[in-house]
């Protein structure tokens, strides 16, 4: 086959594997990149980005576009989807024994699903070995990049977290009551109304290790964590929840002056912060959101803010940021290239 061409296959585990057609590249590519779609999505949503990965670093990456949670299956709940994804990843790893490293790239709710899955796949360092000899793994592989695009890390409950509700309190309160009719169990998880067996909401439980789910240990084990966020025009996921910030922490931004990445308007490296939770004057929903911000801030994050305000495609920003369709959402190409250019190999 032509050197540099991109090949794909559909493994028994499901989904689509994307890799270089050059045989020597296949042998040397030891870094598994797992791409996870959002709600009501499919593996096709990441087709463009997966191919760009392989075209750019063909001898390094082997990309798997996950398919276990597609279409209506994305309504089954973050935990159910996370279990399915973890099993799918293990099957992929089993089929390609030369893999050594692993990264996740996820869109929207897929970021929460990926966080759940890594909690199931995490294995702590072996005891009795030196630091050099033993390291934590994800599915037996070295964790490298954990990257999310427009993921509602703080949930979608109130406080303008879902922009199409316009910040109107009555609309937001109504959404809490009816969301499970539309998005079923996943809706409960997003709006923090789940109460399985009297337990706290799942997103709160994912702030720490919980039984055999090592949620925070797994997240912490990655070499880097990155959150790409739309600063506006995303009518599905708000800027604050996708960038893991409080209102007062949202930065001022201006038009990009970088010709290579014209839609990247702000970048920030946030160190791990183990500080006190900020008081929210007894507002229960705000208290829960504050717990999520505080908990997720205990690990470092790279935050990349994206704006399509001057784009004709701005009203589809939630899809454009991942180039869901390489014909309709082309303005997000520079964002995908930014991710690949900064990817830890």
Question: What would the mean pLDDT of 315-325 be, rounded to a whole number?
Answer: 96
Residues 6+ apart with CB under 8 A from 135: 125, 142
Min mean pLDDT across 100-114, 131-145, 304-318 is at 131-145
The stretch 116-121 carries a mean pLDDT of: 98
pLDDT (tens digit per residue) in 159-213: 554 443 434 454 444 444 455 545 669 999 998 989 888 899 999 999 999 999 9
Q: Which residue has the tokens 């702030």?
A: 207
> Using the 8-state DSSP alphabet, how is residue 263 labeled?
T
The answer to whether the CB of 49 falls within 8 A of the CB of 41 is no
**Six-digit token pair at 321?**
């940021």
Q: What is the pLDDT of residue 3?
A: 37
Q: What would the pLDDT profile of 126-145 be if each residue is shown by its tens digit?
A: 876 656 557 999 999 999 99
Say if residue 258's pLDDT is above 70: yes
pLDDT for 217: 98
Structure tokens at 141: 């592989």
150-162 per-position pLDDT tens digit:
999 999 875 554 4
177 HSE (CA, 13 A, CB side): 6
The answer to whether residues 92 and 56 touch, using CB atoms and an 8 Å cutoff, is: no
Q: Quick one: DSSP state of residue 200?
A: P
Residue 129: per-residue pLDDT:
64
pLDDT band at 2 (very low <50, low <70, confident <90, very high): very low
Backbone angles phi, psi at 235, to 5 degrees: -90, 0
Predicted pLDDT of residue 239: 96
Average of per-residue pLDDT across 235-245: 95
How far is Cα 183 from Cα 167, in angstroms, rounded to an integer? 20
What band does 101 get if pLDDT is binned at 50, 70 and 90?
very high
pLDDT at 197: 80
Q: What is the pTM of this model?
A: 0.92
Give the residue ranges of DSSP H helices in the chain: 23-28, 47-56, 78-95, 109-121, 169-190, 202-205, 215-221, 239-243, 284-296, 317-320, 333-341
Mean pLDDT over all residues of the chain?
89
Task: Give dist(CA 105, CA 31) in Å, integer.
Answer: 13
pLDDT for residue 282 is more than 60: no
pLDDT digit string, tens, across residues 28-69: 999 999 999 999 999 999 999 999 999 999 999 999 999 999
Residues 6+ apart with CB under 8 A from 283: none
pLDDT at 157: 75
Burial 139-173 (b: 16+ CB within 10 A, else e): bebbbbbbbbbbbbbbbbbbbebbbebeeeeeebe
Q: How confident is the model at residue 91 (pLDDT cuts 50, 70, 90)?
A: very high
CA 133 centroid distance within chain: 29
Sign of the C-alpha dihedral computed for residues 292, 294, 295 and 296 taken in this order: positive
Phi/psi for 44 (5° steps) reads -65, -20
């Amino acid at each position: 086959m032509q050197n540099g061409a991109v090949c794909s296959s559909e493994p028994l585990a499901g989904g689509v594997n994307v890799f270089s057609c050059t045989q020597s590249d296949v042998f040397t590519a030891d870094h598994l990149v797992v791409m996870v779609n959002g709600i009501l999505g499919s593996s096709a949503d990441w087709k463009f980005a997966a191919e760009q990965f392989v075209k750019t670093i063909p001898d390094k990456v082997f990309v798997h576009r996950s398919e276990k949670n597609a279409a209506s299956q994305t309504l089954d709940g973050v935990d159910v989807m996370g279990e399915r994804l973890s099993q799918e990843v293990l099957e992929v790893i089993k089929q390609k024994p030369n893999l050594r490293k692993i990264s996740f790239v996820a869109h929207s709710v897929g970021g929460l699903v990926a966080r759940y899955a890594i909690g199931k796949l995490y294995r702590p360092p072996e005891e009795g070995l030196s630091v050099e000899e033993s390291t934590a793994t994800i599915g037996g592989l070295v964790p490298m990049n954990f990257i999310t695009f427009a993921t509602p890390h703080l949930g979608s409950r109130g406080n303008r977290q879902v922009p199409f509700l316009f910040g109107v309190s009555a609309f937001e309160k109504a959404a809490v009551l009816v969301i499970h009719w539309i998005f079923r169990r996943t809706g409960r998880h997003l709006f923090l109304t789940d109460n399985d067996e009297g337990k706290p909401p799942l997103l709160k439980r994912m702030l720490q290790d919980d039984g055999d789910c090592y949620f925070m240990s797994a997240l912490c084990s990655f070499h880097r964590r990155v959150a790409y966020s739309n600063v506006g025009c995303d009518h599905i996921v708000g800027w604050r929840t996708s960038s893991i910030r409080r209102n007062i922490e949202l930065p001022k931004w201006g038009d990009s002056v970088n010709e290579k990445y014209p839609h990247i308007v702000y970048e920030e490296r946030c160190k791990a912060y183990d500080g006190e939770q900020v008081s929210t004057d007894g507002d229960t929903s705000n208290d829960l959101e504050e717990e999520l911000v505080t908990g997720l801030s205990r690990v470092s994050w790279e935050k990349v803010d994206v704006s399509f305000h001057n784009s004709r495609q701005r009203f589809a920003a939630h899809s454009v940021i991942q180039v869901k369709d390489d014909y309709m959402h082309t303005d997000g190409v520079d964002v995908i290239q930014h991710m690949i250019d900064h990817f830890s190999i």
